[in-house]
Structure 1
């Protein structure tokens, strides 16, 4: 089993993780007022939590996989700074409480710390791949959101995810039956969590 097999086997669920009305709204420019900003704040809070998880993964990774994970951490720190600038320009406060689903997603990542590195390598790749697939599907984006779409479809981001996918495939090539099953479970969980995360955007606008 490799990452391609996971994507093929769970194609319908994976599509739900990036073919969402929120992404369509970004592409077509018809999101209701407040929806994008609600999502933006919650995504910032999620990234902050995910960064802690990824930092703890570094010492568990094989030496050849540490570089992309560390590079991803640097990018996440820069991402938080970028979020903060965007929030300021939009008049948003970033000290909100995480939405219950956002908090649950972070807890899921933290729960993976008891799993093998193989499971974590697949989960980390899946988190980032779902994000790239979603924003690629949103391209080129309506004018109000084009800067965001361009930022999250940058070729360097795609290269990083390619490196994570190679790491996941190497890990899966060493997996025994139980590890492969747990990695698949993690992949499915990420797809569902990503799908549901977009719904957070609509949680405070009364629709």
Structure 2
């Protein structure tokens, strides 16, 4: 079992609250209020700004040049993901300047600062563990929503978002991240340390669920 799968298996309540959240269900059904999605999307763009800093920190925390390259690839991937957000927001008349001027909501601040603190206080494995629910979780959610909607996705107003995270490119990225975690764990992980990693993973997962709820609360 990979480290990610072990961590997920040991946090069933948090993981279910995240991947089966009402926000996700409504997104897949296509009946999520647009106001909820727009709030989420703007906040997620602000989230990704801080997430890019976390990947920059991963470069610094990387023990090898190969790890540094993987971290840099992740940073470049985030910039591409930010482009998707801008593309969707521009369709609603929101410019990049509008988005970047928006205030960070409490849920955004709580999650991003938690990830950054985990990385600053620990090593690369601590940071990867805090990043994992987002990176790999979105791949799981995207694939599940794509399979659930099937041909009906053509009529789903959130089709572009679902297809992005269900895409082979993003699925490959998530698989690569999981493999990278395992390689790091081979160096750093001990059974005595696992409990701390599991706590970090579970907290980050609950913060993901809170992030969805932030969108729903904006209705």
Query: After alignment, is 141-150 or 60-69 more displaced?
Result: 60-69
Whether the 8 Å CA contact 2:133–2:201 is kept in 1: the answer is yes
- 3-state DSSP of counterpart to 2:103: coil
Corresponding position: 1:99 with 2:105 = yes
Does residue 194 in structure 1 map to residue 208 in structure 2?
yes
User: Normalized per residue, which structure has more helix?
Assistant: 2
The TM-score, its normalising length taken from structure 1, stands at 0.90
- The superposition leaves residues 98-122 of structure 1 with CA deviations (integer Å, 9 ceiling, x where unpaired) of 1101111111011111112221122
Which residue pairs with 1:8 in the alignment?
9
Root-mean-square deviation (CA), in Å?
Answer: 1.8
Deviation at 1:127? 2.2
In structure 1, stretches of 5+ residues that fail to align are none
CA distance in 2: counterparts of 1:123 and 1:159, whole angstroms: 19
Alignment correspondent of 2:173: 160
Given that 2:4 and 2:132 are in contact with CA atoms closer than 8 Å, whether structure 1 keeps it comes out as: no
What is the match of residue 24 of structure 1? Answer: 25
Shift of 1:33: 4.0
Shift of 1:123: 2.1
Q: Displaced runs of 4+ in structure 1, greater than 6 A?
A: none
| Structure 2: gaps (5+ residues) | none
Report how many aligned residue pairs link the two structures.
205
CA distance in 2 between partners of 1:5 and 1:157 (Å): 22
**Structure 2: how far apart are the matches of 1:147 and 1:6?**
30
Question: Counterpart of 2:52?
Answer: 51
Offset from partner CA, 1:81-100 (integer Å, 9 cap, x none): 23222211112331210110
Q: Which residue of 1 aligns with 2:144?
A: 137
Secondary structure at the aligned position of 2:49 is classed as helix
Q: Which residue of 1 aligns with 2:190?
A: 176
